[in-house]
Structure 1
Amino acid sequence: MARDSHRWHPKCRPPDDLVAPVPVDPTGRAGPTPAQARGPHWRRTTPGLFVPSSVGDDVPEQRILEHAARLPVVDSGVTGWAACRMHGAAFFDGLAHGGRTRLAVPLALGAKAQLRPWPGSRLLRARLTWEEVEVVAGVSCTVPRRALFDAMRTAPSLVDAVVAMDMMAAAEVVSIAQMREYAGAHPAWTGVPQVRTALALADEDSRSPAETRMRLIWVREAQLPAPLVNQPIWTRDGHLLGIADLLDPDSGTVGEFDGADHREAARHTRDVAREQTMRDVGLEYFTVTGNDLSHPQRVVARMHSTRARARWLRDDHRDWTIVPPPGWRTVPSLDERLARRAEAALEAETDTWSATA
């Protein structure tokens, strides 16, 4: 399967070994015979469609493909989290917060599409034009902005809606500005108030759902000023101390999310050393774990107590700074990166057209 190497990378590519469901074939050449379909060597995915029983549906894209296979030919497409995943956003894994409960695959249906409900999928009926559907790795999907819009407006909570926006931005698929424009063009749709509120809380520098959830506890439950996210911190002489998951620059408070990979011996050793380095220059430090996120008040208390211990030094009295040293390469904004990507795609398309004209 084609995958990015890092387990927690925000981008992914669809696997190259997905197996498309097939209907029964009396000859047994293009699919199982009726008798074979009833046997142990084939698994029914949806009404009238089968894959070999050796093909599991634990890979999100395989599950998406199986439900997409029953979509009408026109006026329909996979949407929401499933289309976000197909467009390359890795953290849309098809599991609810907690990582155990499977989410239904959302299927967008326009005015003319007819499809009956089926376990494992969710039907979303709303206006859908042909311009908002494209094929990705053999799956008919809504385009990225529509996919994210549906994910955010149907999210079970405001926090989940913010996570969706942050993770599409982390994957460099949709920016906050693009989503704000799209929501503005669909003001009367169900769930748009939640989308607008989520956009006001979103941050394009978040790199994981847990980081977003930690930040939202800081802002909403703890009611503290919005922090800087994944902020590089330097010494006064230009040495990079580290990149803080969350930084309150006024008080000098650093917050870090300690995920499962942080517990590996080598990584934990580096984390401890970095924390000590941060403290040595006058920064106060707190850590949040995955289990902590299920107990927001515990996290709130930790945030407030850490911030109360912080040194609150004036900028000219600090041994640390967030001002990049000379020569530090500034990363273009997400909108700039997406614009460049679109220009490159248009140029490639124009070159192809010119060559074949």
Structure 2
Amino acid sequence: MARHRWDPVCPAPTGLVVPVPVDPQGRRGPTRAQARGKGWRTTTRGLFVPAATANDMPEQRILEQSMLLPTVGAVTGWAACRLFGGNFFDGLAGDGSTLLPVPLSIGPGGNIRQQPGIVLCFDRLPLVDVVRRHGIRTVPATRATFDAMRLASGVRSAVVVLDMAVAASVTSIERVAAYTLAHPGLTRIAQVRTALPLGREGSRSPRETCLRLVWGLDAGLPRPEVNCPVYDRESGRLLGIADLLDVEAGLAVEFDGADHRSVGQHTRDVEKDEAFRSRGLEVCRVTGPDLRDRALVVRRLLATRRRALFEPTETRAWVGIPFPDSAERAIAERELREALRSDLASGS
């Protein structure tokens, strides 16, 4: 079944093409003459793929750059998170078009040169931190997230990395925190330490996380519930799921991404707003373009919050029941199932 484009988890890649060197016989690769023609595309020095090979799939780009790895080395950062199923790790910068370099962890003795398309990480890389994913050497999921947070452009970007890795069940906040504690001397670890307390389970997109950070860091508002179901207290009917829920004020904050422009989604948004307001909840909506102006968003959040009712809990006509944090449990259960399948397959 096809996944929704905003699903935090991406499907496993198919059709990856491994770059090959020149073959004088033209059997396992192009001849020198063919390599110079239009039928083949150069990936990295001395390696080629057929020209028809898609180059807009992140996993293919990761595979091509991974061919540069020395004997001890692995893909890390956003690229490794993608290989572990993180849909929002698409290798694109915030503008949605600029390609991010593929991070390669090569250890302190790595002897390859920095070049376009890659960024090199020279931190220690023990053998236990090298696994294979879709045939590509990569660091384990938690280190991948840790490195992606270190390589992020700032603390807020590092929080987005953490939220999206957790949303895709790549790792959990607890695991990243434990890894950070166990590796105190690594470069740029201060950014990870600052970002960790700001991470939350439940965020469903990078922009939702950005909105939550504006709420807390810029507007200075109390910690909200994230993607929290809200029910009619009397009937128990689900009124809707609030992207952010300020329980104290009685305020639901909704992020309107690109998919909210459709007529059907807009209709559902209006119906949810009406259901919330009919039970005394104030509603504030923020769009993607709004987030470019944090001051604007702060003013809107504060103004809307001032209009909220701040009703006592016992007199409210609504009740918010947050989903419990579950990422760590889900990952542990998945690992147990995988271990059992492995044991069965090996006959042990």
TM-score (norm 1): 0.94
2:127 is the counterpart of 1:134: no
> Which residue is 1:77 aligned to?
74
**Partner amino acid, structure 1, of 2:173:** I
Distance in 1, matches of 2:138 and 2:14, equals 17
Distance in 2, matches of 1:226 and 1:78, equals 35
> Which residue is 1:161 aligned to?
158
Displacement of 1:323: 4.2
Q: Secondary structure at the match of 1:19?
A: coil
Q: Which of the numbers 323, 345, 349 marks the counterpart of 2:338?
A: 345
> Which residue is 2:266 aligned to?
268
Distance in 1, matches of 2:110 and 2:33, equals 32
**Partner amino acid, structure 1, of 2:337:** A
Displacement of 1:335: 1.3
In structure 2, the CA distance between the partners of 1:331 and 1:218, relative to structure 1 (3 Å rule), is closer
- 1:282-315 per-residue CA deviation (whole Å, 9 max, x = no partner) reads 1111111111111111100110000000010001
> Which residue is 2:44 aligned to?
46
For residues 56-75 of structure 1, the aligned pairs below 5 Å read 56-72=54-70, 74-75=71-72
2:205 is the counterpart of 1:208: yes
Displacement of 1:118: 2.2
Distance in 2, matches of 1:352 and 1:50, equals 36
**Partner amino acid, structure 1, of 2:335:** A
- 1:167-215 per-residue CA deviation (whole Å, 9 max, x = no partner) reads 0100012111110000000111111111011110000111110100000
Displacement of 1:318: 0.8
For residues 119-198 of structure 1, the aligned pairs below 5 Å read 119-198=116-195
Distance in 2, matches of 1:220 and 1:196, equals 16
Q: Secondary structure at the match of 1:46?
A: coil
More displaced 10-residue stretch of structure 1: 222-231 or 106-115? 106-115
Contact 1:75 1:112 in 2 (8 A): no
Distance in 2, matches of 1:115 and 1:258, equals 44
2:275 is the counterpart of 1:277: yes
**Partner amino acid, structure 1, of 2:167:** A
Q: Which of the numbers 10, 14, 20 marks the counterpart of 1:12?
A: 10
**Partner amino acid, structure 2, of 1:100:** S
Displacement of 1:13: 2.5
Q: CA RMSD in A?
A: 1.4
> Which residue is 1:28 aligned to?
26
Contact 2:201 2:325 in 1 (8 A): no
Q: Secondary structure at the match of 2:43?
A: strand
In structure 2, the CA distance between the partners of 1:249 and 1:331, relative to structure 1 (3 Å rule), is closer
Contact 1:14 1:61 in 2 (8 A): no
How many residues of Structure 1 are paired with residues of Structure 2 in the alignment?
347
Contact 1:15 1:61 in 2 (8 A): yes
- 1:137-162 per-residue CA deviation (whole Å, 9 max, x = no partner) reads 11111110111111001111111100
Contact 1:21 1:45 in 2 (8 A): yes
Contact 2:109 2:122 in 1 (8 A): no
Contact 1:4 1:11 in 2 (8 A): no
Distance in 2, matches of 1:122 and 1:219, equals 32
**Partner amino acid, structure 2, of 1:304:** L
TM-score (norm 2): 0.97
**Partner amino acid, structure 2, of 1:213:** C
**Partner amino acid, structure 1, of 2:308:** A
Q: Secondary structure at the match of 2:6?
A: coil
> Which residue is 2:329 aligned to?
336
Contact 1:159 1:198 in 2 (8 A): yes
Structure 1: 5+ residue stretches without partners: 325-329
**Partner amino acid, structure 2, of 1:208:** S
> Which residue is 2:102 aligned to?
105
Contact 2:228 2:321 in 1 (8 A): no
Structure 2: 5+ residue stretches without partners: none
Distance in 1, matches of 2:173 and 2:122, equals 25
Distance in 2, matches of 1:218 and 1:102, equals 29
For residues 226-265 of structure 1, the aligned pairs below 5 Å read 226-236=223-233, 237-265=235-263
Contact 1:13 1:86 in 2 (8 A): no
Identity within the alignment, % = 48
